[in-house]
Chain A
Amino acid sequence: MTLMHKFTTAAAVTALSAGAALAEPGLIIDLGGKFDKSFNESAYTGAQRWVEETGGSYMETELASEAQREQTMRRMAERGANPVVVLGFANASTLETVAPDYPETNFVIVDMVVDQPNVQSVVFSEHQGSYLVGLMAAMASETGTVSFVGGMDVPLIRKFACGYAQGAKSVADDIEVISNMTGTTPAAWNDPVKGAELTRSQISQGSDVVFAAAGGTGVGVLQAAADEGILAIGVDSNQNYLFPGTMLTSMVKRVDNAVYDAFQSAEAGDLETGVQVKGLEDEGVAVAMDEYNADLVTEEMQAAVDEARAKIISGELEVHDYTSDDSCPALTF
C-alpha cells in the first residue's frame, strides 16, 4: 500500500506542478521485478535512499513485458519526469528512438551506452568485480572446479562469466570453469527451477562454488547450492544474507549509487550526460564482506582480493572485457 500511496502522491504532485520547472525524477523498473533481490532491487534501494535523505518524491513504474518499454518510457517523459532512469541493456534500442523526441528531458540508462545528447549512460566494470569473486571461488574450491550460471545469454552476462573465469584461472591454471546460460529470452531472468537444475548439473560435474548472475533465476541457483551444501556467490545486490553459511560472497554492483547520483544531480540541476564508467576504484563494483560470510572468507582470500583489486586499479593487472571484442581468453561459450 505504501508503494501505491507514493505513486499516487507522485502523480498528484506532478499534476499540481505541471508546467513548473521543478521536475521529479522517474525510475522504470525492468523485467524481473522490483524485488528480484538483485539488479532491480538495488536500483529501488538507491531511489529509496534518496527519498529518505532528501525527502523528495519520484515516479516509479515497473515493466510487465518487453512490449511496454517504449510506451512506458514515453509516458514517463510526458508526465514530466526528469531524469527518467531506465535499467538494463535491453532498453538501449528503445531509448535510442525515444530520447531525441524529448530533448528537454534527460535520460539515464544503466548497463548500456546510448549515444544521445540528453542521455547519461552508466556502465559498470563487471569484469573486474567478477574477476575478484572468481579469485575467491578458486581459492575456496576444494575440487578444482567452479561454475557460473548466467541469466539470458547476452554479451553483458558473458562479461561477468569471462571476468569470473579469468579470476579463477589466475589462482591456478588447471582450475576448471563450467559455464551455463539459462536461456536466450527474457524468461531466463525468472526461471529459478532451471537455475537450480543447472546448478545440480554443475555440482554433478564437480563444481563446489557457483556464481549466479541471473536476476530472479539466481535465487534458484543459490537455493540449490544451499540444499546441496556447496558455496555460492550472489550478484548485483548483496545477497549474502539469503543463505548464511553457503554464501561465499556477492559481486555487488552499485546500481543503487547510480540511481541515487542521477536523482541527486538532477535535483541540483547538474546531471552530466555522456558515458560514466563505475569500476573498482569508485566502488561501483565491489566484493561484499559482511557478518554473513565472515566465517567463509579466509585471511589469504581477503589478502589476495585486496592485492588484485589494487593491481587492477593501478592498471598493473588488466582484466579482459568480453564486450570489447566479443571473445574471452579464459572461457569458451
Chain B
Amino acid sequence: MNVIDIVQILDSTIRLATPLLLACLAGLFSERSGVFDIGLEGKMLVAAFFSAAVAAATGSVWLGLLAGIAASMVFALIHGIASITFRGDQLISGVAINFLAAGMTVLIAQDWFQQGSRTPALTGSARFSPIDLPLADMLSGVPILGPLYADALSGHTILVYVGLLAVPATWWILFRTRFGLRLRAVGENPAAVDTAGVSVTGLRYAAVMICGLLCGLAGAYLATGLAAGFTKDMTAGRGFIALAALIFAKWRPWYALFASLLFGFLQAVSNRYSTLDLGIVEIPNAFVLALPYILTVVILAGFVGRAIPPRAGGEPYVKER
C-alpha cells in the first residue's frame, strides 16, 4: 500500500461518508430533542427520488435539490405530527415512514416516467459536478499533504463540503446558542423546559424539521451527486448505518464526523480489497462490512465507553395538569 492507494481510499471514504454524515447529523438533531427517528432511511429515499425526478424534469439540479429537501421535510413533518402532536410511538412512526417512502417513490416514479420505478439518467446540469477547492493545483506538488488535499479532499460535489461544514455548524448551534441549549434540555428533561415557559412542542418540531432538511441533503447527494438518477430502494440501508453511527458517536457532532468517516473508510477498504491481508491474518470482506454494526454493539454493550441516549428520548411529552 503506497501513498496513492491511501489517497484513493480516502477519496472514496469521503464520498461514502457524506450521506452517512448528513443523515447522522439529521438524527442527532431529532434525537437530541427527544424524538427518536428510525425513519432516516425513508426520508433519504424520498429526497433521493424527488431530487432526481425534478432534476430530470427541469434539467436543473438546484431545483431538484430544493424538491428533495421539501419532500424530506414533509415526511419529517408527518413524523412530527404523529409523534409530537399525537404522541404516537416514535419507532412505529419511523417504520411507517420507511415503508411509505419505499412504496411511494416506486409508484410515483413508475407513473411519472414509465421506466420501471426509476428516473431517467441525469446528465449535464441535472447533476452535481465535482468542484475543485482553491489552490488544489498549486498544492498538489507538496509531499503527502499535497495529494491528500488535491486528490482526496478536493474534487467532490458541493454537498460534500456542505456536509463537512454542517459538523461545526451543528456543534455551534447545539452548544453555543440558546436554541441549542433548550433543544438539548428538551431531550433530557422536557418538564423543566416547560416550567421555564419554553414550548416543548415548538422545539421538538424545529428539531424534526432540521432533521428533514439534512436528510433531504443526504438523499439528494445520493441521487444527484453520487449516482445519476433514482433507482428503487437506492438508499440500501444507509439510513440505518447512519443510526448506528449516531449511537457510535454518542449523539455528539464531532464524534459523528469521526464515526461517519470511520464507517465510510471501512466501506472504501472493503470495496478495494476482497480480503484484507494483515500479514498474520486474512480478514474476509464480509467482516469489514459488518464492522460498523459490530462496533456499535460493542459500544452499546458498554465495553468501550458508554453510549447514553438523551434521557427523554422516545417518550412523548405530556404536560402535567
Contacts and interface: CB of A to CB of B under 8 A. Distances in A.
A187 B233 contact: yes
A136 interface: no
A41 B116 contact: yes
Interface in B190-234: 222, 226-229, 231-234
B272 interface: yes
Given A197-B15, A201-B12, A216-B231, A333 B274 contact: yes
B222 A190 contact: no
B308 interface: no
Given A41-B116, A201-B271, A193 B12 contact: no
Best-buried of A192, A205, A227 by chain B (most CB within 10 Å): A192
Contacts of A220: 227, 231
A35 B232 CA distance: 11
B274 A192 contact: no
Contact of B233 (A190, A205, A219): A190
Contact of B117 (A35, A41, A200, A204): A35
B118 interface: yes
Interface string A224-254: 0001000000000000001000000000000
Interface residues of A, number: 30
A143 interface: no
A91 interface: no
The 8 closest A-B pairs by CB, nearest first: A35-B116, A204-B8, A191-B236, A192-B227, A201-B271, A193-B226, A201-B272, A223-B228
A135 interface: no
A35 B115 contact: yes
B1 to A, nearest CB: 12
B237 interface: yes
Contacts of A242: 121
Interface in B1-60: 8, 11-12, 15-16
A205 B8 CA distance: 9
B160 interface: no
Contacts of B228: 223, 227
A169 interface: no
A193 B234 contact: yes
B271 A180 contact: yes
Nearest to A332: B274
Best-buried of B8, B232, B286 by chain A (most CB within 10 Å): B232
A219 B8 CA distance: 23
19 contacts: A33-B117, A33-B118, A33-B232, A34-B116, A180-B274, A187-B233, A187-B236, A190-B231, A193-B226, A193-B236, A194-B271, A196-B227, A197-B16, A197-B267, A200-B12, A201-B8, A216-B231, A242-B121, A333-B274
Nearest to A44: B116
A208 interface: no
Contact of B234 (A34, A180, A191, A200): A191
Nearest to B114: A35
B313 to A, nearest CB: 28
Contacts of B115: 35
Nearest to A195: B227
B71 interface: no
B97 interface: no
Interface string A178-215: 01110110010011111011101100110000000000
A60 interface: no
Nearest to A333: B274
A198 B274 CA distance: 11
Contact of B227 (A36, A204, A223): A223
B261 to A, nearest CB: 15
Contacts of A190: 231-234, 236
Contacts of A200: 12, 15
Best-buried of A205, A219, A333 by chain B (most CB within 10 Å): A219
Contact of A216 (B232, B272, B274, B286): B232
Contacts of B268: 197, 201
Contacts of A191: 234, 236
A193 B231 CA distance: 10
Contact of B12 (A192, A197, A333): A197
Contacts of A223: 121, 227-228
B237 A196 contact: no
Contact of B272 (A33, A183, A205): A205
A220 B317 CA distance: 45
Given A198-B271, A201-B8, A201-B272, A192 B234 contact: yes
A193 B227 contact: yes
A219 B223 CA distance: 13
B115 to A, nearest CB: 6
